[in-house]
Amino acid sequence: MAALLVDAATLAAQPAARSPKAPRFLPTIPPTRSVEILCYPGVQLLDVAGPLQVFASANEFAPLGAPAPYGLAVVAAADEVVATAGLPFRTAPLPPADRPLHTLVVAGGRGVDAACADPALVGWVRRRAAAAQRTTSVCSGAFLLAAAGLLDGRRAVTHWDRCAQFARQYPAVRLDPDPIFVRDGAIWTSAGVTAGIDLALALVEADLGHAAALAVARQLVVFLKRPGGQAQFSTVLSLQSRDGRFERLHAWICDNLSADLSLAVLAERAAMSPRSFCRHYREATGRTPARAVEALRVEAACRMLEAGQPVGRVATRCGFGSEETLRRSFLRALGVGPQAYRARFAAGMTDGGSGRYERTMAATDPTR
């Protein structure tokens, strides 16, 4: 075959030769999100390690050749911090407070009270949050955010065991003692210890999407995800009083959720007049009898819905009487209706590309 000869002038006139050497539009690569986890002496180890591992695992799932989605740093005022478990670990120094930051995570722990009493650290948190796109706290780390004035007028949560102290110290904060985590604008707070993992998974989902968060949950063998409105602990536990005077009543209620649980019936069961029972019960549990019964019914309904039971059957067996009453109670307690709750959290129901969450325990990633 004869060779094709093309002179330089003819080649230069071709459209391909006149195109720029580099494409005019380069593919957009998401920038790495900087994350700083603030520590101090007496920090709770899992408050640091839990969220840190969630973000680190998200980095492991980054596509080949793409930058890691998170740049991670554990920072403190000292070079070394000893956690409550007695484990010392090295930390990076506190960066300049005005340096741009994507996410600030403030861990909790027994040392948070001393941290709140440190004006320099509190001031750094206040200024650092102003430079961050998103500020979060884990467990009692909310105390440090509140000390910096970042939670005034906002809804927030902290460890259940410190809610009373928090409410006394920071009355300007709209404390909600029940949820696993709370988002109020650019500030996220989480409940105790392991709830920091739930919070971090929610942050990954907000940044990278549901599939990425699910992959991380599978790798870590954790739930994806407990609903943000789910209580920190069971309703029966939350209703316990120090003297235990209503424990038998609570056990009876749980065994008879479909029965008449009116104030008159409960008062008779407790051998009190309705007025006296209502007053003593609220003093002991912090709730009215009606709200306590509703909470116990909602919790039982959640378990049945997670097992895949039909909504109508759940409404009947848990004593709601109708699906509409069940729906109103769910919206009041959890912020979602029973149908949506069942779709998200029923055992064995997968995402299927619809954006629904899995409540079932995630299996380990079989590809790893």
| Residues identified as active-site | 139
d(CA 159, CA 192): 4
- C-alpha dihedral over 162, 164, 166, 172, to 10 degrees? 160
Task: Please list, residue by residue across 159-177, b when 16 or more beta carbons sit within 10 angstroms of its beta carbon and e when fewer do.
Answer: bbebbeebeeebeebebbb
Rg of the chain's alpha carbons, rounded to an integer? 27
Mapped onto helix, strand or coil, the DSSP state of residue 200 is helix
Token pair of 314 as six digits? 């759940």
What is the sign of the dihedral through the CA atoms of 342, 347, 353 and 355?
Answer: positive
DSSP β-ladder status, 33-38 and 101-106: parallel
Nearest to 198 by CA among 179, 219, 176: 179
Token pair of 224 as six digits? 């994806």
d(CA 190, CA 140): 9
Q: What's the distance, CA 48 to chain centroid?
A: 14
What is the sign of the dihedral through the CA atoms of 220, 221, 227 and 229?
Answer: negative
Sequence-distant (≥ 6) Cβ neighbours of residue 7 within 8 angstroms: none
* Cβ pair 325, 301 in contact under 8 A: no
Q: Is the backbone peptide bond immediately before 225 cis, with ω within 30 degrees of 0?
A: yes
